[in-house]
Amino acid sequence: MEVIIEQDYEQMSKAAARVVVRTLNEKPNAVLGMATGSTPLGLYQELVRLHREEGLDFSRVTTFNLDEYVGLSVTHPQSYHHFMYENFFQHVNIARQNIYIPSGTTSNYRSFCEWYEQRIEELGGIDLQILGIGSDGHIAFNEPTSSLSSRTRLKTLARQTIEDNARFFETADDVPVYAITMGVGTIMEADRIVLLANGAKKADAVAAAVEGPVTSMITASALQMHPRVKLFVDADAAGELQMRDYYQWILKNKPGAPPS
């Protein structure tokens, strides 16, 4: 895992946006895996700015979102459908038919999850997956003890996640108990992954994910087994990393292009 420590949230978001830009420059019809929550908001704002001011083109891009709350309709203000349109999709030139978000209201979750996995495969897999991390170390809604080879499925949220996400709802009782989520195994098949974390509340989870053992107790730790993960953190989220100096040393001494 490449650990990139940025001084603040804005720098972190811009650095992650540059990875998306590089991906789209290399492959204009890339398949992007999208995350919701507060962490990627700055990244989405920067991508919207790049679209408006520098013509960053999403017309051939396909997206797959990681997860959705069960029971929330697409128009519910706290649904991830609503979040994605409000914060990103309606501001860029992505084709509506190229947007995939898990359904929180399907009548058959099992067949929906199978279909979702199948669509990812049919479209050639995810080229770049964006991830946040929960304070309990989850990626997507793969809560502690989720199988590290899990696929898209229904998942019961942990109390910690319900408490963390209660800030978006009127009360904790309004937070759905179930979500539909890509599995750890699904995420691990992405070609490249960008993991974002900011704020001191994430520092323990980040340290456990990067420097702890690979364990289903911290599903983000599975990313240690992925060959192409970039972790962008702000200084606060990097606060518990033991090898912080080494990560900065690596970046400082990163070899440039070899002499021709």
Q: Is there binding between residue 37 and ligand F6R (CB under 6 A)?
A: yes
Which of 35, 120, 218, 231 binds ligand F6R (CB under 6 A)? It is: 35
Decide if 211 is catalytic: no
Decide if 67 is catalytic: yes
Binding mask 127-146 for ligand F6R (x = CB under 6 A): -----xxx---xxx------
Q: Which stretch binds ligand F6R (CB under 6 A): 14-22, 32-40, 53-61, 69-77?
A: 32-40
Q: Which is nearer to ligand F6R, 46 or 67 (CB)?
A: 67
User: What residue type is 71 in one-letter code?
Assistant: G
Decide if 138 is catalytic: yes
Q: Which is nearer to ligand F6R, 52 or 119 (CB)?
A: 119
Which of 11, 38, 87, 106 binds ligand F6R (CB under 6 A)? It is: 38
Q: Which of 117, 136, 191, 234 is catalytic?
A: 136
Tokens of 49: 């700015």
In angstroms, the CA 79 to CA 77 distance is 6
Tokens of 24: 């789209």
| Beta-strand relationship, 153-156 and 178-181 | antiparallel
82: closest CA among 91, 72, 92?
72
Nearest position to ligand F6R, beta carbon: 132
Q: Which is nearer to ligand F6R, 80 or 247 (CB)?
A: 80
Buried b (16+ CB within 10 A) or exposed e, 53-84: eeebebeebbbbbbbbbbebeeebebbbbbbb
The least CB distance from residue 259 to ligand F6R, in Å, is: 41
Decide if 173 is catalytic: no
| Beta-strand relationship, 31-34 and 128-131 | parallel
Q: Which is nearer to ligand F6R, 26 or 86 (CB)?
A: 86
The least CB distance from residue 36 to ligand F6R, in Å, is: 4
Q: Is there binding between residue 42 and ligand F6R (CB under 6 A)?
A: no
Going from the C-alpha of 107 to that of each of 97, 110, 154, 162, the distances in angstroms are: 21, 9, 13, 24
Question: Are 211 and 224 in contact, with CB atoms under 8 Å apart?
Answer: no
| Beta-strand relationship, 67-69 and 178-181 | antiparallel
The least CB distance from residue 139 to ligand F6R, in Å, is: 6
Question: Are 138 and 161 in contact, with CB atoms under 8 Å apart?
Answer: yes
Just list the catalytic residues: 67, 136, 138, 143
Query: Applying CB under 6 A, which residues contact ligand F6R?
Result: 35-39, 66-67, 132-134, 138-140
